[in-house]
Structure 1
Amino acid sequence: MPETLRTETEAGVRSIILSRAAEYNTITLALRDELGAAIDEADDDPEVRVILLRAEGAAFCAGYGLDWSTELQATEATMDRAWDSVMDMREMSRFVDTYMKLWYATKPTISAVQGWCIAGGTDMVLCSDIIIAGEGASFGYPPSRVWGTPTTAMWVYRLGFEKAKRYLLTGDEIRAKEAADIGLILECVPDDQLLDHATALAERMAQVPLNQLRMLKLLCNQTAENMGISSTRTLGTLFDGVARHTQEGRDFVERSATIGIREAVRERDNPFGDYGSRPR
């Protein structure tokens, strides 16, 4: 049985539900593998027409588990070999390929987002065809301030050049209403209506013949493919590894080992006054 998620199927909709609520559904190796398998299974099931990704708890996904990821990088200092950018990209691509299954699944994918959906969580969710968020949700890519770049690189394709630059060059937090207003997501609804609203849309889509859904999704996605989404994704994944190994990135890892990851993140975000450093 999966440890990080569960699935449900009703009225042609396969719900994939992230279930590490106590850990804010942060990304782990197990979540990566189980999510990929769940998407593949849903895409192959002839009874499923639409895939709905949602999560239990207060947060949809608060990014990668920084405890294990910073500790993993810290061990590099004890190795005799220099950092291998090609190996790093190969390993990160395993995560990226999983998120992109939401994009390349032949069936429509909808994500229903509550609470935090930040950093690696956006790498995942922005690959969905449609995103609906509760009004209390927040998006953003704070690692752009230090220690990362968006690996799936979906920002420009959803926002356009200037808006993508505006948010990536600051890492600023984007509240759900603003995310809908700028086109990062489809819409923002009251938190207590999120599940019903997203499910209703998924079930409405599921009334359309599957061959129609597949053709229409591919027709829309091909525009981004023609614009070069594959090469952008490759560059984003490569740059993410580079960003983690700049002097500033290495300093962030060392600081995390010294004062703890939560305090290191707070130091990063305090000058901007958002995310965990948002005034109470």
Structure 2
Amino acid sequence: MSEHVRIEKAGGILNLVLDRPDKKNALTQAMYGALAEALEASNEDREVRVLLLRAEGDLFTAGNDIGDFAAANAGGAGPGNAFRFIKAIAAARKPIVAAVQGRAVGVGMTMLLHCDQVLLAEDTKLTAPFVGLALVPEAASSLLLPARIGHQRAFAVFALGEAVEARDALAWGLATRIVPAADLRRAAEEVAQRLAQQPVGALVATKSLMRDGEAIARLMDEEREEFARRLASPEAREAFAAFAEKRPPDFSRLG
């Protein structure tokens, strides 16, 4: 478990709350583990009818905690809990509602592709700058994002790190609606409550029919293998060294 993830269950809704606002809700391996455990358990928990994913503070998540991520990789553990979380959110049987404010970076963006209703605050920006860190996309986003918004837009997000503003996210099918930041939590809770009143068996069956779970799982495995290769590359070493030294990376001498 993690002190930075609050898990609360009431009225058929399982609330998963990122609660590390002082660190921009950057995700540690412990936080990933807590989220994955809750998602996995929700599949068989008859008291849970819908999941609500949200975050405290002004920012949804800055993505991976780079220091924690680098330490896990240096220690040989690798980002195991991160991939466990990705698998768990993709395999979640119950509907997931997400409430997103501020920035959603990296996995903060790609996890939304596995949510069934996504509400954004007006100031939200979604970014997935994997290539800039010498890595590749995860969470089956290499398939799901271009399928949703088109190849050129998705490539610009991945390869150039271009941000998706809230209004574009709505227009491109990445979000359900946009609400004022002050109303975000209430609006998301209302959606979750409406879903919780629906017949859960029909909800689960409908969600399953709308997704090719086996294809998504296979692609996630392929992404994970390539991610591991990229993580061990000279390019990645330069990217992480540049981040630690607070300088621009120099990939010009790396093929």
| Corresponding residue number in structure 1 for 2:162 | 172
Q: 1:95 to 1:187 in 2, by over 3 A?
A: same
Q: Decide whether aligned partners of structure 1 residues 12 and 183 sit closer, same or farther in structure 2, where only a CA change above 3 A counts.
A: same
Contact 2:72 2:79 in 1 (8 A): no
Aligned to 1:83: none
- State the distance in 2 between where 1:41 and 1:63 align: 23
Aligned residues: 246
CA distance in structure 1 between the aligned counterparts of 2:193 and 2:186, rounded to whole angstroms: 10
Q: How does 1:131-210 map to 2 (within 5 A)?
A: 131-154=118-141, 155-210=145-200
Deviation for aligned residue 1:170: 1.4
Q: How does 1:215-234 map to 2 (within 5 A)?
A: 215-222=205-212, 225=213, 228-234=215-221
Q: Deviations over 1:76-134 (max 9, x none)?
A: 8xxxxxxxxxx88xx44542231232221211011111111101322333322222111
**Displacement of 1:195 after TM fit?**
0.8
Q: Which residue does the alignment assign to 2:31?
A: 31
Give the distance between the partners of 1:167 and 1:92, measured in 2 at CA.
22
What is the match of residue 43 of structure 1?
43
The structure with the larger Rg is: 1
Moved more, 212-221 or 169-178: 169-178
Cα shift at 1:196: 1.2
Question: Displacement, 1:199?
Answer: 0.9
Deviation at 1:72, TM superposition (A): 4.9
Amino acid at match of 2:136: T
Q: Distance in 1 between matches of 2:125 and 2:216?
A: 25
CA RMSD of aligned residues (A): 2.3
**Structure 1: which 5+ residue stretches go unaligned?**
77-86, 269-280
One-letter amino acid of the structure 1 residue matched with residue 206 of structure 2: L
One-letter amino acid of the structure 2 residue matched with residue 102 of structure 1: I
Matched, 1:126 2:113: yes
* Alignment TM-score, normalising by the size of structure 2: 0.86
Percent identity between the two aligned chains = 26
Local SS of the residue matching 1:184: coil
- Give the alignment partner of residue 243 of structure 1, picking from 218, 225, 230: 230
